[in-house]
Amino acid sequence: MKIFGNLVAVLTLGVAALFMLLFGIQGSYDNLFFFRFLHVIAAIMWIGHLYYFNFTQIPTMPKVPADLKPAVSKYIAPAALFWFRWSAAVTVATGLIVAMQAGYAGQAFTLSSPFITIGVGMWLALVMAFNVWFLIWPNQKKALGIVAADDATKARAAARAMIVSRLNTLLSIPMLYCMISAESGY
């Protein structure tokens, strides 16, 4: 079917189906639920890209023939990094909105009972988002040639970006556990 060849059309139909569900079946709109939903969608995109980089792109790049590597470094990686960093930002923003609307943000950030688990998850997510924007992205811009850098600087930047990306992969495991098992009813 032609519609599945058009991402915008598919997303539009997905949003229409969401609204049909919200107003047709549920009969109401819950602001807190809506932001939780956006939080989950953004988090799937963020962690999905993190895992794509660590499980697919990084291990596969050494096997890619030299003449094909520019396709990844000039087109695929910059696009993936765009969605990676902005989904991280949206995940954090919507997570903060949910925590504030639900009334546990202060207790979670201060790791007060009964919000310790969600608080740990929130702090891990903030560290990971910081890493995305202030460590991974600046180093990837050098490694991919988005900003000017000599070959030695590109190599060091690529290594740094990979190490921080692997750190985020490590942190994602306890972070995801905290998010799904939190005492807050999340």
The total number of structural domains that make up the chain:
1
Region of residue 145 (phi > 0: left; psi between -120 and 50: alpha; otherwise: beta): left
- Amino acid 28: pLDDT: 67
Q: Say whether pTM exceeds 0.95.
A: no
Domain enclosing residue 99, as ranges:
30-181
pLDDT in tens, 140-169: 999 999 999 999 999 999 999 999 999 999
Report yes or no on 12 lying in a domain.
no
In 53-150, where does DSSP find H-type helix?
58-60, 69-71, 77-102, 105-109, 116-131, 137-143
Report yes or no on 151 lying in a domain.
yes
Half-sphere exposure of 11 (CA within 13 A, CB side): 4
What's the average model confidence in pLDDT over 65-82? 95
Instruction: Give the DSSP letter string of 76-99.
Output: IHHHHHHHHHHHHHHHHHHHHHHH
Report yes or no on 10 lying in a domain.
no
Report yes or no on 14 lying in a domain.
no
pLDDT band at 115 (very low <50, low <70, confident <90, very high): very high
Q: Comparing C-alpha atoms, which of 138, 122, 124 is closest to residue 167?
A: 124
Residue 67 — φ and ψ, nearest 5°? Answer: -70, -15
